[in-house]
Amino acid sequence: MRRNKKERQQLLIETIKQNPFVTDEELAEKYSVSVQTIRLDRLELSIPELRERIKSVAEKKFSDEIRALPLDEIIGEVIDLNLDENAISILDIKKEHVFKRNGIARGHHLFAQANSLAVAVINDELALTAKASILFTRSVKENERVVAKAKVKNVDHTTDDRSVVEVRSYVGNELVFKGEFDMYRS
């Protein structure tokens, strides 16, 4: 059912308020209009693009929570964080992340996303990677979205103040990277 502009824009506001991570493409499909129409509606309503919405939500929610490094030093956008438990970040692979000749993401970007998320999830003023065991399970291409999920496996304050953080990164439901990070804590 096609709605008039005013109705569509009101629904757009409500939808983005409920889910700030919804893409323009998903909104266009939901409201049976073009992506360009959604972008024009957002512009008219002063609603920022997805990347800015994610950044804004992360800054509001996590700026006081992340202890081991500043939020702007994390590779990717943190969208969920429970210190010493788990965390999630997303990284949209763009032209600057890939090799020019084949459009495949450079591995250090995937590693950096996972490693910085492993540092961010640690509830300590100082968290450093002591050791990492990683595996790339498939190539990631330009315009794909990588969702990294970190889980703290153990917190050992009794011996050498180390924690093990497991990070798995996905494109859709497909595993593209997994790593185990042995994290030093102060």
Segment 66-72 mean pLDDT: 58
Given a cut of 70, whether residue 4 has pLDDT beyond it is yes
Cβ distance 90 to 147 under 8 Å?
yes
Regarding predicted confidence, which is higher, 70 or 27?
27
pLDDT digits (tens, 9 = 90+) for 154-166: 766 555 678 999 9
Tokens 């800054």: give the residue: 59
Given a cut of 80, whether residue 59 has pLDDT beyond it is no
The 10 Å Cβ neighbour count of residue 43 is: 11
pLDDT-based confidence at residue 107 (cuts at 50, 70, 90): very high
Segment 46-75 mean pLDDT: 65
- Pairwise CA distance, residues 18 & 20, whole Å: 6
Specify the pLDDT at position 182. Answer: 93
Q: Which two tokens stand for residue 53?
A: 């919405």
| Amino acid letter, 106 | R
3-state SS, one letter per residue, for 134-184: EEECCCCECCCEEEEEEEEEEEECCCCCEEEEEEEEEECCEEEEEEEEEEE
Segment 46-73 mean pLDDT: 64
pLDDT-based confidence at residue 57 (cuts at 50, 70, 90): low
Segment 165-182 mean pLDDT: 96
Specify the pLDDT at position 157. Answer: 56
Segment 135-149 mean pLDDT: 96
Specify the pLDDT at position 18. Answer: 83
145, 60, 19, 98: CA torsion to nearest 10: -10
Element (H, E) at 131: strand 127-136
- Pairwise CA distance, residues 64 & 72, whole Å: 12
Specify the pLDDT at position 75. Answer: 87
CA distances (Å), origin 42, targets 7, 45, 56: 14, 5, 16
Specify the pLDDT at position 136. Answer: 97
Q: Is 158 helix (H, G, I), strand (E, B) or coil?
A: coil
The per-residue pLDDT of the chain, averaged, comes to 86
